[in-house]
Structure 1
Amino acid sequence: MKELRHLKPAGEAIFKDRYTTKAKELLQPYSPGVKSEFAVVGLPLSKPSISHSGASFAPGTIRDAMQSYTTYSAEAELDFMEPIIDFGDIYMDPIDITGNQHRIEEGLSDVFKTNAAKNWMLLGGDHSISYSSIKAFAENKSVGVIQFDAHHDLRNTDDGGPTNGTPFRRLLEDQIIRGEHLVQIGIRDFTNAKVYDDYAKEKGVAVYTMGEVEQLSITKILEQELQRLAEKVDVIYLSVDMDVLDQAFAPGCPAIGPGGMDSRTLLNGVLLAGMHEKVKAMDIVEIDPTIDIRNMTSRVAAYVILQFMKGKNKKE
C-alpha cells in the first residue's frame, strides 16, 4: 500500500516554531507526589447564575486561550519553564446545584491538601463557585479576599438561594471571612442596590467604586489594601470577576455593561497583587464562551493567569 504523505494526528497539523513555547504547553496533568509553583483546577458550574450563562464551558476555553501566548515575558526578562499542574475539572451533576457547590468545596479541600503547588488558579464557572473555593481555602487559616467586580455579590439568599449574586454574603454570614477582610474593587454605578451597598458598609467591607479606581489608581488602592490585609490575615485570595471590565474588553460576560475597567488596569492590578507573598490563590469567573467574540474574554483571562504568574516570579 502506498504511504500516505503529509498527514499528522488530528489537531497536530499546526505551525510550530522550534524556539517558541506556548503557555498552554505548560499544563501538565497531576500525578501524586509531583510539585510545582502553580496549579490549576476547573470549576465548571454556571447553573446558579441569575442570568443565562454558559460559564461552565469557560475552564476549557481559558486553557485553550493560553495557546495564544508564549511563555516569555520581555518586560520581566523571564521565561516560564516550570509546568503548571492541571488537576482537571471537578465533576458537576446536571441537576444538583447545591450538591455541586458542596462537591467543589470537598474537591478543592482534597486538592489543597496535596500541597502540590504554592499558588492556586481556579477557573470558573460563575461567581457562586467562590463561596465553596474560599471556604475550602480558608480551612485552618484566616483569609483576606480582594474581589475585582462590578457587583457586590452580597444579595440575600431568600430570593433565589445560593446564586452567583450571593457568595460573599454567604461567606460573611457563615463567618468564613470577616467584613474588614474583604476588599471590593471596581464596583460600578447603576449595577447594585442601595441595600447591598449599605450592607457592605455595615460589615466593614472596603469598597472602591470605578470612580475611586480612576481617581486613586489601582496601584495606590492595592498597595494600601495588601499591606492592611497582610497585617490581619494568614493568606490572601484574589477573586477576578471578568465583568469588572468594560463591555468593550469583555464581551463574553453574562452581565456586560459600560463604565468598567479597561484590561490594562486589571492586568496591572493582578500583577501587583501577585507580587505579594501572602497572595496564594486566585479564581477567574463569569465568562460565557457561547456569547464571546473571537474568545476575547477568555484571552484576557488567560493573560490574567500569566500576569499572576509573572507577579510571583517578578524580579525586584
Structure 2
Amino acid sequence: MSNYLKPAGKAIFKDSYTTKMNELLVEPDGSKSQYGIIGAPLSKPSISHSGAAFAPGAIRQAMGSYSTFSKEISHDFQGETMIDFGDVDMNPTDILDSQDRIYQATKSVLGQEEAEQLIVLGGDHSVSFPSIKAHHEKYGTIGVIQFDAHHDLRNLDDGGPTNGTPFRRSIENGVLKGEHIVQIGIRDFTNAKGYDDYAEQQDVTVYTMEDVMTNKINEIIQQALQKLENKVDLIYLSVDMDVLDQAFAPGCPAIGPGGMDSYSLMKAVETAAKHYKVQAMDIVEIDPTIDFRNMTSRVAAHVIFSYWKGKVLGK
C-alpha cells in the first residue's frame, strides 16, 4: 500500500514543531487531569430555532485550528491534557429527561474525580441548570458569573424549562441564591422589565453593556469575584456566546448589536480563571448551522484557552 495513503480524515499537513490544541484531548482511562470537558448537545428547549446541539463537536474541531503555545504568557500547554468524557446521549423527544441526563452524567463525571475542573460544552443555555445542580451537590454553595445578553430568568409557566429559564430554575429549586449570581453584558432592548424586576428582587448583581463599555472589564470581574469569594465554595463561569456583538458571534441564535467584543470576553474569562475558587465553566448558545466560517466556535475555543491561561497565571 502507498505510504501516501492515510486513514480517512488523517491526511492532513503536520508540522513537526507544532501541536494543536485538540491534540490535548484524551479519552478517560482512569488517570487524572486538571481539566475535563463534557458535551451537552441539547437545543430542543430553545425558544428560537437552534442547532446548538451540534456545537460541542464544532468547538472541538475549532480547537484544532490553534497551537498549544501562548506567546503572551510564554507558556506551552503541549505537555498538558484535557480529558474528553464525550457527549451526553439525549432523549430525542423528552426535554426534561435530556436535562436530567446532563445532570446525571455531570454528577457521575464529578464523582469520578478524574478531572479537577469541568468545562461543559452546550447546547443551549438550558444545560446550565443541570450542570450547576450537579456542581452544587458535589461542592456546596455555588456562585455564578454569567456572561450574557439576557437575564435567563424567564418564568417557567409560559414555556417550561427553556434556554431562557436556567437561573430562574436554579433559584426556585434552591440550587443558587440570587445574591450569588453576577450577570455581565446584559443588553438594552433584550429583556422584559418583569425579569429586570425579578433580578432586583432576588439580589442578582447586574452589569449592563453600558457598564462594560464605561468601565474596564477586568475591574468588573474583580468586583464580581470579591462579591462572591467569601460567600460560596465554588465559582462557576457560564458563558453565553450571545453576550458578544453579532459581528463577533454570527453563529448565535439570538444575535444582536451592541454586545461585547471577543477580546474583552477572552480577557474577562482569563482574569476570572486566575481566582482559585473558579473551578468550572460552561459555554453555550452556538448554532454551527448558521455560523460563518466557524467564527463563533473559534471564539468559544479561545474562551477555553483563556480559562487555561488564567489558571497558569493564577498559580
TM-score over 0.5 (shorter chain): yes
Q: CA deviation at 1:283?
A: 0.1
Query: TM-score, normalised to structure 1's length?
Result: 0.97
What displacement does 1:227 show?
1.6
Tell me whether 250-259 or 10-19 shows the greater mean CA deviation: 10-19
Hey, what's the Cα distance between the residues in 2 that align with 1:118 and 1:75? Answer: 25
CA contact (8 A) 2:275 2:314 kept: no
How far the C-alpha of 1:4 sits from its partner, in A, is: 3.5
Aligned partner of 2:38: which letter?
V
Structure 1 residues 202-217: aligned runs within 5 Å: 202-217=201-216
**In the alignment, does 2:57 pair up with 1:60?**
yes
3-state DSSP class of the match of 1:183? Answer: strand
1:149: which partner in 2?
A: 148
- After superposition, residues 258-277 of structure 1 pair within 5 angstroms as 258-277=257-276
Q: Who is 2:127 aligned against? A: 129
Q: After alignment, is 247-256 or 81-90 more displaced?
A: 81-90
Counterpart in the other structure of 1:26: 24
Q: 1:185 is matched with which residue? A: 184
2:137 paired residue among 136, 139, 157:
139
Residues 133-160 of structure 1: per-residue CA shift (max 9 Å, x gap): 0000111510000000000000000111
Once the two structures are superposed, residues 208-247 of structure 1 have per-residue CA deviations (whole angstroms, 9 ceiling, x without a partner) of 0000111122111110110220110000000000000000
Q: Percent of pairs identical after alignment? A: 63
Root-mean-square deviation over aligned CA pairs: 1.0
Deviations 1:46-95 (A, max 9, x none): 00000000000000000000001111101111111211000000110111
* Residues 42 and 122, structure 1, Cα contact 8 Å, conserved in 2: yes
CA distance in 2, matches of 1:200, 1:263: 26
Segments of structure 2 that go 5 or more residues without pairing to the other structure are none
- Once the two structures are TM-superposed, the CA of residue 264 in structure 1 deviates from its matched residue by 0.7
Matches of residues 94-133 of structure 1 in structure 2 within 5 Å? 94-133=92-131
Matches within 5 A, 1:1-316: 3-4=1-2, 6-32=4-30, 34-80=31-77, 81-140=79-138, 141-314=140-313
**8 A Cα contact 1:144 1:235, kept in partner:** yes
Give the number of aligned pairs: 313
Give the secondary structure class of the aligned counterpart of 1:207: strand
Residue 35 of structure 1 aligns to which amino acid in structure 2? K
Greater CA deviation, 134-143 or 293-302?
134-143
Match of 1:143, as an amino acid? I
Q: What letter corresponds to residue 104 of structure 2 in structure 1?
A: E
Whole-angstrom distance in 1 between the partners of 2:99 and 2:253: 20
Q: 1-side partners of 2:152 and 2:314: how far apart?
A: 35
SS state of the match for residue 137, structure 2? coil
Moved over 6 A (4+): none
Report the AA paired with residue 294 of structure 2: N
Q: Deviation per CA, 1:158-213: give whole Å up to 9, x if none.
A: 11100000000010111111111000000000000000000000000000000011
SS of equivalent to 1:85: strand
Give the counterpart letter for 2:15 in structure 1: D
Pairwise CA distance, 1:6: 2.1
SS at match of 2:67: coil
How far the C-alpha of 1:5 sits from its partner, in A, is: 5.2
219-228 vs 275-284, greater mean Cα deviation: 219-228
Contact in 1 for aligned 2:274/2:314 (Cα 8 Å) = no
Between the aligned partners of 1:69 and 1:270, the Cα distance in structure 2 is: 18
